[in-house]
Amino acid sequence: MKRIGVFTSGGDAPGMNACIRAVVRGAVYHGVEVFGIRRGYSGMIAGDVYKMESHSVSNIVQRGGTILKSARSKEFMTPEGRKKAYDNLIDLGIEGLVAIGGNGTFTGAMIFCNEYGIPTVGAPGTIDNDLYGTDYTIGFDTAVNTALDAIDRIRDTASSHDRIFFIEVMGRDSGYIAVQSGIAGGAELVMVPEVLTPISEVVEILKQGWSRSKSSSIIIVAEGDEEGSAQEVADKIKVQVDENADIRVTTLGHTQRGGQPSAYDRILASRLGLGAVEGLIAGQKSVMAGIVNNDLVYTPFEDTIRLPKPISEDLLRMVKILSV
């Protein structure tokens, strides 16, 4: 393999730049040329591509976002779009790809490889940590710390006013951010998509807290919880507890996607970027590089896409014990 491309796709995540850097420097180290493709599959179709050198990735390891930009491409879902992308890659002599993104990204890459034989190795870049085949995804640790910083701030004001706070964190299909930030933030309860927490149980826990003279409480709600958004949960609670209870809602939103990546995410991104490019050079295709039990492993895209990543029972049990 003489020449490869690298791109980011889907929602951006802190650490993507550290991953791009590792791909580029890993390629340079192994004597392989590397091209940056802007805006994911859109740029591949448009030919928005440039040669990257070692210095192209200087001073980006600490930056949030992605210097290659990211986008979702409807056109790549069509055979015509993929044909254009293929023609561009052939013109440029690009023989393999590193894709930094999530399952949507990997699905596209798998189809593309089946159709045109261009191999792709993926690196898991998403704050949601919802990908089978790696213990953690790039951006997750930073997102948890960002959510935690907000929880710490809100605890200040919750304690000052004897308030109940419902805080909504990201995670449409996954409660990982909610559970980890909830444990770390000392939350009274965490509501996640994976486990049903009936409103009656929330009310019960709040009342138990009051009976032990807890004057303020924090409840973390993953955006994908079955009982609805944090606002909806709060509205349901409001009618069942003391109507004078001072209940507030905060939705953390897109702040969780940005910020300087944590040490953990930069190291993880570096390992996975290097692992992806070295896997590609070694002949891997349609696999995602991941870290499982501290070891670098390659998991077929079809497994990362198909298989669920259940949340740890231990962590869910811990939330209960620690809020005693």
- The residues in 178-217 that bind a copy of itself, with binding defined as CB under 8 A, are 180-181, 183-186, 212-213
Give the Cα separation of 224 and 241 in Å (integer): 24
CB of 136 to a copy of itself, least distance (A): 10
Give 86 or 102: the residue with its C-beta nearer to a copy of itself: 102
With CB under 8 A as the contact rule, the residue among 79, 90, 117, 157 that binds a copy of itself is 157
- Which DSSP string corresponds to 188-214? SEEE-TTS---HHHHHHHHHHHHHTT-
Q: How many CA atoms lie within 13 A of 47 on its CB side?
A: 8
Give me the catalytic one of 12, 48, 87, 128: 128
Provide the mask over 280-319, with x wherever binding to a copy of itself is found by CB under 8 A and - wherever it is not.
-------------xx-x-----------------xx--x-
Query: Contact 116/94 with Cβ under 8 angstroms?
Result: no
With CB under 8 A as the contact rule, the residue among 66, 73, 284, 286 that binds a copy of itself is 66
Per the structure block, which two tokens stand in for 113? 């490889």
With CB under 8 A as the contact rule, the residue among 2, 50, 51, 62 that binds a copy of itself is 62
- The residues in 75-134 that bind a copy of itself, with binding defined as CB under 8 A, are none
CB of 249 to a copy of itself, least distance (A): 8
Per the structure block, which two tokens stand in for 123? 């690196």
205 is in an annotated binding site: no
Which DSSP letter does residue 127 get? Answer: T
Q: Is 123 helix (H, G, I), strand (E, B) or coil?
A: strand
Question: Nearest Cα to 284, choosing from 69, 84, 133?
Answer: 133
Q: Give the helix, strand, coil percentages of the chain, each rounded to 5.
A: 45, 20, 35
Give 112 or 165: the residue with its C-beta nearer to a copy of itself: 165
155 is in an annotated binding site: yes
128 assigned to active site: yes
**Cβ neighbours for 59, distance < 8 A, ≥ 6 positions apart:** none
Residue 12 contacts a copy of itself per CB under 8 A: yes
Residue 33 contacts a copy of itself per CB under 8 A: no
Give 118 or 187: the residue with its C-beta nearer to a copy of itself: 187
CB of 159 to a copy of itself, least distance (A): 6
Q: How many helices (H) and strands (E) does the chain have?
A: 11, 11
Q: Is 61 helix (H, G, I), strand (E, B) or coil?
A: coil
208 CA to centre of own chain: 35
With CB under 8 A as the contact rule, the residue among 1, 71, 203, 241 that binds a copy of itself is 71
254 is in an annotated binding site: yes
Give 86 or 261: the residue with its C-beta nearer to a copy of itself: 261
**Biggest CA-to-CA distance, the chain:** 71
With CB under 8 A as the contact rule, the residue among 47, 65, 193, 228 that binds a copy of itself is 65
User: Environment class of residue 147 by beta-carbon count within 10 Å: exposed (0-12), middle (13-18) or buried (19+)?
Assistant: buried
Sign of dihedral through CA atoms 81, 82, 85, 90? negative
Contact segment (CB under 8 A) with a copy of itself among 94-102, 109-117, 231-239, 253-261 equals: 253-261
Give 58 or 200: the residue with its C-beta nearer to a copy of itself: 58
11 is in an annotated binding site: yes
Place of tokens 């997102």: 143
294 is in an annotated binding site: no
Residues designated catalytic: 128
Q: Which residues are annotated as a binding site for ATP?
A: 11, 72-73, 102-105
Q: Which residues are annotated as a binding site for substrate?
A: 126-128, 163, 170-172, 223, 248, 254-257
